[in-house]
Amino acid sequence: MAISFEQIEQNLKTEARKLLESGKVSLVLAYGRGYDENHPMPYVAKHPSDVDNIVFNEYCTANLARYLTRYPRRTKIAIAAKAADSRAVVQLIQEDKVCREDLVVLGIPVYGMKNFKTGEAIDSKTTGGLSNPVLYDILLGEEVHGQPVSSPYDVLAAYEAMDKEERWAFWQRELGRCIRCYACRKACPMCYCDPCFIDQNKPKWGEKSPESPGNLMYHLTRFHHLAGRCIDCGECSRACPVDIPLYLFHKKVAKDCEEMFGQAAGMSIGDKPVLVNFRVDDSDKILE
Amino acid sequence: MSFEPKILGIACNWCTYTGADLAGTTRLQYPQNIRVVRVMCSSRINPSFIFRAFQLGADGVLVGGCHPGDCHYNTGNLYARRRLAVTKKILEFAGMEPGRFRVEWISASEGNRFAEVVREFTEQIRDLGPQTQFKISQ
Ligand code: FES
């Protein structure tokens, strides 16, 4: 069995303290205690004395890469990044939102994170299902090996098999429940536009009241904006107060992008996001 | 009353729009169901244009651009190709009939082809019937 959560927490504290004391970074993005054990919250440690507040347990699901873009460029930041989070970091570097040199990535290999709402294990059904970070400077623990790998796209089969009327009804039902709290966009590390297209008034892209047509416009466009960028952390669906399975659509788009363009999001710093890239020999077939 | 499809055409200034012009000046007949909006390049097309068009009652959307390699801005349509392919997949997964959205490369000299594509697409949409899924009821 690999390393325990307590050990990771200890390592995280040690490294955070070292980094802050040496002045290598000015802040450490990690997790702190929420209102109880099962609800840890994102926490920013700015002084060595803050480090004691850091926690890490199986409910620390939030994707901290979300907060990277909030700080001015050139801020030196250390970030605790689990597998999916590290992909978000890579993706943000690809998009030139953060600089590699400004970051210290504290990689956390994980297995068995849990959804704080349901207590269920989070696996490749709702996320990319990776256990080791793809990018890190310091690894807090040992890489996990021998975990069963299943394709993150397996869950899609049932939905792809539906005929279009059924799928339409399914999404109408799901997206129809959206209350437009925008928690999905707040939780998403890739949603950093200010203002978001849906908040614009001129042009007005979609209705803002929580009703089906506007919901559809918001979500479809959001899925499109995240095409080839979504790193499948599943945070949007966990943040959703009405439990819309947004991850399904994101996975589908990610799968299509991978099939069409042969590259998954956030896997290597050298890549270019697929939609700001092209190949002259892309086939016209993809448009059929 | 028989159903007359409402089709939004989004055409790039340098090829498809000029092609449409040519179709006009050579007096080729094509259905009037298409309303063409001119953009400077197919890469100008924000996918939300397409979603929005469907919401506002378009029965079909036809996007026209230069042939890959011929874009006036060299690479615009190569980006657009990827982007619109994703748009298509999204519409499909949301549950729309795939035939309602189409991308065609039509050059400035292909007036004939423009007329032909519009004719064909209009017929196709006529067969599919009115688009009601996305449409916002007013
Ligand atoms: S100018 Fe025609 S597609 Fe770019």
**For chain A, which residues score pLDDT lower than 70?**
1-2, 146-149
Tell me the residue range of the domain where B47 lies: 7-128
A238 and A198 together in one domain: yes
CATH label of the domain that carries residue B56: 3.40.50.960
Lookup result for tokens 């200034």: B13
**So what's the pLDDT on residue A152?**
86
In 3D, which of A50, A4, A6, A1 has the Cα closest to residue A30?
A50
Is residue A145 in some structural domain?
no
Residues A160 and A132 in one domain: no
Q: Ligand 1 center to residue A97 CA distance, Å? A: 29
Tens place of pLDDT per residue across chain B (138 aa): 689 999 999 999 999 999 999 999 999 999 999 999 999 999 999 999 999 999 999 999 999 999 999 999 999 999 999 999 999 999 999 999 889 999 999 999 999 999 999 999 999 999 999 998 888 876
pLDDT at A2: 62
Q: What is the pLDDT of residue A3?
A: 76
Q: Tell me, what amino acid is at B34?
A: I
Instruction: Decide: A57 and A34 in contact? Cβ < 8 Å.
Output: no
Other beta carbons within 10 Å of A61? 24
User: Has residue A287 been placed in a domain?
Assistant: no
A109/A228 same-domain check: no
Name every chain A residue with its beta carbon within 8 A of the beta carbon of B91. Answer: 220
- Tell which of A108, A139, A170 closes a domain: A139
The residue in chain A having the minimum alpha-carbon distance to the alpha carbon of residue B85 is A287
Residue A146 within any structural domain of the chain: no
Structure ipTM? 0.93
Q: A53 and A133: one domain?
A: yes
Residues B52, B138: Cα–Cα separation, whole Å: 15
- Is position B107 within any domain? yes
In a domain, A271, yes or no: yes
Give residue ranges with CB within 6 A of ligand 1.
Answer: B 12, 14-15, 41-43, 65-66, 71-73, 76-77
Helices (H), chain A: 5-21, 83-94, 157-161, 164-176, 183-187, 212-225, 235-239, 246-261
Distance (Å) of CA B47 to CA A14, A103, B79: 47, 34, 12
Task: Select from A286, A262, A268 the least CA-distant residue to A133.
Answer: A268
The tally of domains found in chain A comes to 2
- Helix axis angle, A212-225 relative to A246-261, nearest 10°? 40
**A97 and A221 share one domain:** no
Q: Is residue B49 part of a domain?
A: yes
User: Do B48 and A221 count as a contact with CB atoms less than 8 A apart?
Assistant: yes
A-chain CB neighbours of B93 within 8 Å are 159, 167, 249, 252-253
Please tell me whether residues A164 and A256 are part of one structural domain.
yes
Task: Assess whether A135 and A164 both reside in one domain.
Answer: no
Q: Are residues A176 and A100 in the same domain?
A: no
Residues B56, A205 contacting (CB under 8 angstroms): no
Choose one of A82, A112, A139: the last residue of a domain.
A139
**Residue with structure tokens 């030196």?**
A76
Q: Is residue A49 part of a domain?
A: yes
pLDDT at A37: 85
Residue with tokens 């994102």: A42
Q: Confirm whether A149 is domain-assigned.
A: no
A288 occurs within a structural domain: no
* Nearest residue in chain B measured CA to CA from A249: B93
Q: Residue A32 forms beta bridges with which residues?
A: A41, A54
A111/A105 Cα distance (integer angstroms): 18
Q: Does residue A247 share a domain with residue A212?
A: yes
Q: Are residues A114 and A193 in the same domain?
A: no
Both A172 and A132 in a single domain? no
Domain count, chain B: 1
Its pTM stands at: 0.93
- From A171, A276, A282, residue closest to B94, measured CB to CB: A171
Which domain does A245 fall in, by range?
Answer: 154-282
Q: Which tokens belong to B63?
A: 């996007």
- Output the pLDDT for position A151: 83
* pLDDT score for A129: 78
Q: How many angstroms separate the Cα of B48 from the Cα of each of A74, A209, A220, B21?
A: 34, 18, 9, 26
Domain end call among A139, A172, A187: A139
Q: Are residues A27 and A71 in the same domain?
A: yes
Give the burial class of A1: count Cβ atoms within 10 A of its Cβ; 0-12 exposed, 13-18 middle, 19 or more buried: exposed
